[in-house]
Structure 1
Amino acid sequence: MDHLARGVGDHRQQYRNRQIQRMSSLSIFCMGYKKRVWATLLFLVSWIMGFGNGVAGQREGFLLIMDAPTQPASTWAWELLRNSRRMETVIGVLQASFSLPRPLTFRFGEGEGPVYDPQRVEITIPYPFIADIAHLLSEHPAPTAVHSEQTDTLDVVEWVVYHELAHAFVDLYNLPVLGREEDAADALATLLAIELVEDGGRMALTAADLLARVAANAKNTPNASFWNEHTVDQQRFSQVVCWVYGSDTTTFAPLANSGTIPHQRAQRCPDAFSTMAQGWWRLLDRYIKPA
């Protein structure tokens, strides 16, 4: 999946029609492709130069650590991340987009998770969790899967990274949350996928479908701690699908035509997505870096 600066331009006219005002600083997401590429390349260079034991070279903003695997079963996930450079790209885009009051570390390694630790200001994504995703996708490929199993695994991992990032933003920015924080985290994960990633809607659908399959078969899910702690259920899957459809009813028309989204609910999805996006952009406006 190509990671481009899709921006919010494609959706702004829809929001204007619904009288939704976005803040001017959201132009960060309309940065040109070349600027995004340079931001990512600069991060990659600094990360590689400071890699050593896995610690990113910079010491402010978004930090990336990839611990060497200590279990044979974790090696596959570690190699997938190292070879793809997907997470370096993700962190580079976040670094270019958001200001943080304190450094936030993304650690890939062993242990429990995915989870955000407010004491350490650290998001942990375990290698076994990534291996579990690959295993689940191999047994039950998502209907939206159009790429390789490895790419789809990385897509789900990236969506989960955005989900945990939402918890970090709530903590670091002291953001108010109405309703369940897990639902708010799903919303931001889906929004960032749609706005920051080419074909990001499909990424969110792949993740949502996997969550739904886990919910339906939780007893047979390996290492199900993440899924259990995050209250995976069909309602969350349906909400993510509705947001994706509402973001682009033309591209994702098959979701409504196939009955994946009931007709009456499908009519409400564009407003649901607009309301969700407006709410998050208003909360994050002051922390978005100028273009």
Structure 2
Amino acid sequence: MCSNLPKEKYKSQFGIYVLTLIFSVLFYITTAHAGTTQNIGTNLPVDDQYGLVLEPSPTVNFRFLPSNTAMRQTEQFIEQSPVLETIKQLSQKRFVFSPALNIVFGSDDGPLFDPVTNSIHIPYQFVSETSQLFKKKGLFNTQREVNQATEDALLHTLLHEIGHAYIADRAIPILGKEEDSVDNFATILLLNDIPRGDDIAINSADLFALEDLDTDSFDDADFVSEHSLDLQRYYNILCLVYGSNPNRYQRIFDELPVAERKQQKLRCPDYFTVINQGWLYYLAE
């Protein structure tokens, strides 16, 4: 059958048809993939139907074992502490675990990470002794300051143990002592993500310094331990804090002799940069 349409009109309608077909194909491609949006560079879940980013679910669970009368106050101290909310928020942003990581308070042993049960164990006794040590050494003037330092040390300890869990979960290669690496993990998170994280890190370092004061002598067990010596851990944290903001912490090494003080001030900014970049490479955003 021959068309009676003029050639110009025929060409115009054919062009409109082609454009309509192209737009239809593009629309189909766009909508067909709307429910399979990929989370490039993020661990946030995506709604399968609409491709919308949803609020992440907490990936850390807290469990409190029954305490005896002597530890009841410590249990309540932990439950009411803002430390738990801080860990929960970080678990949605920085270290997302699947299956969820369980943090158990009131265990007999610890602080430790158990890779078999994928759980962290924090004895009430550890928190109680930390508070007593801060108070005994007279580092702080008020009970409120003691409580704050105890919360800070608890947060650093939890992040330290979460560091072990994160290394196991992500199969992160560690060259050197893992204990030193997770000390760095905890401190880097404090300095990057937590309000007053530098103060928290310093209070946590002070705990190691106080524990060192209670050490009269060293034996072979101290030198073959998987942990560095308490005083080494203390200065390592201070080095990261100084390196993160040298202008603010000009006097952080004043207790050291002049030569060692100068050496730390030269070394720590570069040290912080290396450690910071290394951990931020692995930590989720």
State the TM-score, normalizing by the size of structure 2.
Answer: 0.71
- Matched residues in 2 for 1:100 and 1:144: separation? 39
Secondary structure of the corresponding residue to residue 164 of structure 1 = helix
How far apart are 1:145 and its partner, in Å? Answer: 9.6
Q: Given the alignment, which residue of 77, 101, 104 partners 1:104?
A: 101
Alignment of 1:184-195 (within 5 A): 184-195=181-192
Larger Rg, first or second structure (1 or 2): 2
- Superposition map of 1:118-267 within 5 A: 118-142=115-139, 148-218=145-215, 230-257=227-254, 259=256, 262-267=261-266
Contact 2:62 2:104 in 1 (8 A): yes
Matched residues in 2 for 1:154 and 1:100: separation? 24
**Number of the residue aligned with 1:4:** none
One-letter amino acid of the counterpart of residue 267, structure 1: L
Q: 1:246 to 1:176 in 2, by over 3 A?
A: same
2:114 is aligned to: 117
Supply the AA of the counterpart residue of 2:162: L
Answer whether contact 2:180 2:228 (CA < 8 A) is retained: no
Greater RCO (CA < 8 Å, at least 6 residues apart): 1
Root-mean-square deviation over aligned CA pairs: 3.0
Matched with 2:64 is 66
> Which is further off, 100-109 or 90-99?
90-99
Contact 2:177 2:226 (8 Å CA) reproduced:
no
Task: Assess if the C-alpha contact under 8 Å between 1:121 and 1:168 holds in 2.
Answer: yes
- For structure 1, the 5+ residue unaligned runs are 1-23, 29-38, 44-57, 221-227
**Structure 1 position 265, deviation (Å):** 1.7
Give the C-alpha shift of residue 151 in structure 1: 1.3
Structure 1 residue 146: deviation in Å?
A: 11
Q: Residues 95 and 166 of structure 2 are in contact (CA less than 8 Å); yes or no, is this contact kept in structure 1?
A: no
Superposition deviation, residue 232 in structure 1: 3.5
Amino acid at match of 2:135: S
Secondary structure of 1:68's counterpart equals: coil
8 A Cα contact 1:64 1:88, kept in partner: no
Q: State the shift of 1:103 in Å.
A: 1.4
**Matched residues in 1 for 2:78 and 2:150: separation?**
10
How many residues align? The count is 227
Q: Is the 8 Å Cα contact of residues 142 and 210 (structure 1) preserved in structure 2?
A: no
Q: TM-score, normalised by structure 1?
A: 0.70
Secondary structure of the residue aligned to 2:173 is coil
> Which position in structure 2 is the counterpart of 1:274?
273
Q: What whole-Å deviation, never above 9, does each CA across 1:227-257 have from its counterpart, x for those lacking one?
A: x874443222111111110011122222145
